[in-house]
């Protein structure tokens, strides 16, 4: 629900879709950030006219959530167990759905993502447990 024509945090939802097609259950998501990974280089020609090149290298994603179950911890334990058993970690897909200020819906699909469990959380008296998950995606494609 946009306010006065501005997008706000509650205008988006994020789903992590595992290689087997199931959705990874995350806690109460409080933050999502996506940043393009771009490198640039300059070709310095002898004629003095420089060319500038840009290379798209994927996307960096960060998700923060409040822990509401052991689902993310259990998923990561299975990823770790697979690693030590010699089983490869298949990439996942992350889908972001945005309700735009004009009421239309935009969907972004981050493809070939590798997840990283950055912070399983800190347990304190009378405090919630905040967790952080990040990913690197090969590409972002607009779905709608």
pLDDT digits (tens, 9 = 90+) for 24-63: 999 899 999 999 999 999 999 999 999 999 999 999 999 9
Nearest Cα neighbor of 108 from 70, 142, 62, 57 is 142
Residue 105 binned pLDDT confidence (cut-offs 50, 70, 90): very high
- Give all domains of the chain, ordered by start, each with its CATH number: 9-142 (2.30.110)
Q: Is the pTM of this model over 0.95?
A: no
Does residue 2 register a pLDDT over 80? no
Residue 144 binned pLDDT confidence (cut-offs 50, 70, 90): confident
């Amino acid at each position: 629900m946009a306010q006065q024509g501005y997008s706000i945090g509650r205008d988006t939802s994020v789903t992590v879709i595992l290689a087997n097609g199931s959705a990874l259950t995350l806690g109460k998501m409080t933050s999502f950030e996506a940043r393009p990974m771009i490198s640039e280089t300059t070709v310095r020609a002898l004629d003095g006219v420089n060319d500038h090149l840009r290379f798209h290298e994927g996307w960096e994603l960060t998700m923060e959530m409040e822990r509401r179950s052991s689902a993310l911890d259990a998923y990561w334990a299975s990823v770790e167990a697979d690693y030590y058993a010699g089983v490869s970690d298949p990439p996942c897909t992350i889908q972001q759905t945005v309700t735009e200020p004009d009421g239309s819906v935009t969907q972004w699909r981050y493809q070939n993502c590798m997840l990283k469990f950055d912070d399983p959380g800190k347990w304190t008296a009378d405090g919630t447990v905040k967790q952080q998950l990040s990913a690197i995606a090969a590409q972002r494609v607009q779905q709608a």
